[in-house]
Structure 1
Amino acid sequence: MESNNIELITRMVIQAINQNEKKGDGFMVPIGVSARHIHLTQEHVEALFGPGYQLTKKKELMGGQFASNETVTIVGLKLRAIENVRILGPVRKASQVEVSATDAIKLGMNVPVRESGDVAGSAPIAIVGPKGAVYLKEGCIVAMRHIHMSPKDAQAAGVKDGDIVSVKADNERGTIFNQVKIRVDDSFTLEMHIDTDEANAAKIATGTTVTIIK
């Protein structure tokens, strides 16, 4: 069975269970492990890949986003680099690089934990593509863990956009994630996003289910 079909079945089962749960504690959410990636403006896409260049789709993601076929190299202040960092589309109004805490150590940088889009005063980073390079004075963050929800899911869970909750993973590590931000939008599919550091430490993989405990 293809992984996409497995993910779809998992979501359907969770939805059925959640419909029978009371609001609040006990609402189940599937995990999506987010590897390092980059969001770019069209200007920066062209600076890295050439005039008029358009990102090409590799895989559809939720909310109209997609993983592109294009990858770049990111370079820290001490000229330490990480290659093959994937670009997510479509293009944005501001460029942003999302890494894990381990990536930050490898790059030799102090990178703050931030919500996506909150890049003011964040870490600087250089991005190198096949046709050029871009230097961001700010824009490199470790993404704050968060849960994407539709309004219907938020109502069922008894939460609203911007709420901060705790989430429990019932496995041999028995991990509780605090400071998890709820993000609600009509385009969102129910999923909690954590980075590779968090997933490895808690022994969690994409598709694992966790529970909101508030």
Structure 2
Amino acid sequence: MDISQVESITRMVMEAINQAQSQPQPKGFLVPVGVSARHVHLTQEHVEVLFGKGYQLTKKKDLMGGQFASNEQVTIVGLKLRAIENVRILGPVRKQTQVEISATDARTLGIKAPIRESGNVAGSAPIALVGPKGALYLKEGCIIAMRHIHMSPRDAEAAGLKNGDVVSVKADNERGTIFNHVVIRVNPSFTLEMHIDTDEANAAGIKQGDTVTIMK
């Protein structure tokens, strides 16, 4: 191989490198999506009202952060006696009972549920719950969960984010949806996942396990 051939090959390699570097590079931080269906969190007191004294929730499936989907379900009832049956209870029990639904569910039930972070139920919508052994009425406690991303501290560091940050997220599919006002939640027990409800997933053409990109 003579010098001219070496120079020619070198030019070709350099051109290929330069072309690759000139191509748009992917930006952002990829996150898998979990689609959250309507569900209920209960105090132990309310578990016993609905299922009987001394009753304990039984585990159906483990979830992140030490939570689990229980085998138990209830019926939720709106102010106009409109109901949705077979709503899953998530355990373990909490200090405050909370019902999380979608905007479509709220219309079905005839209630005005606010969009809130989990745990922020002050002044939220009233709702009734019916179980096999009893019923209870909540003056507040029903919300539409604010879209959010669960992260471990390592994930948060890699993404350059911290607990409580609010970001925008892009779903790069046929719908091309951008979600604003997405809250970051960081905890060592969390697995990386964005949670949206069924309304949001259907509107954006997203299914369980799809990935989206954080756009700071």
- TM-score strictly above 0.5: yes
Structure ID, larger Rg: 2
Provide the residue aligned with 2:46 in structure 1: 44
User: Match for 2:93 among 91, 94, 106?
Assistant: 91
SS at match of 1:72: strand
| Mapped partners of 1:213, 1:195: distance in 2 | 20
User: Match for 1:179 among 181, 198, 207?
Assistant: 181
| Mapped partners of 1:177, 1:41: distance in 2 | 32
Superposed CA RMSD in Å reads 0.9
2:31 matches 1:29: yes
Provide the residue aligned with 1:140 in structure 2: 142
Deviations 1:113-141 (A, max 9, x none): 00000000000000000000011110000
Q: What is the Cα deviation at residue 80 of structure 1?
A: 0.3
| Mapped partners of 2:199, 2:35: distance in 1 | 9
Task: Give the TM-score of the pair, scaled to structure 2.
Answer: 0.88
| Mapped partners of 1:127, 1:110: distance in 2 | 16
Runs (4 or more) in structure 1 with deviation over 3 Å come to: none
| Mapped partners of 2:28, 2:114: distance in 1 | 31
SS at match of 2:161: coil
| Mapped partners of 1:147, 1:185: distance in 2 | 11
| Residue type at the aligned position of 1:38 | V
Provide the residue aligned with 2:19 in structure 1: none
Q: What is the Cα deviation at residue 26 of structure 1?
A: 1.3
2:64 matches 1:62: yes
Provide the residue aligned with 1:109 in structure 2: 111
SS at match of 1:140: strand
Q: What is the Cα deviation at residue 143 of structure 1?
A: 0.1
| Residue type at the aligned position of 1:119 | V
| Mapped partners of 1:110, 1:119: distance in 2 | 13
Deviations 1:83-105 (A, max 9, x none): 00000000000000000000000
| Number of matched pairs | 191
Task: Give the TM-score of the pair, scaled to structure 1.
Answer: 0.88
| Mapped partners of 1:26, 1:183: distance in 2 | 18
- Unaligned 5+ segments in structure 1 are 1-21
2:167 matches 1:165: yes
| Mapped partners of 2:103, 2:165: distance in 1 | 24
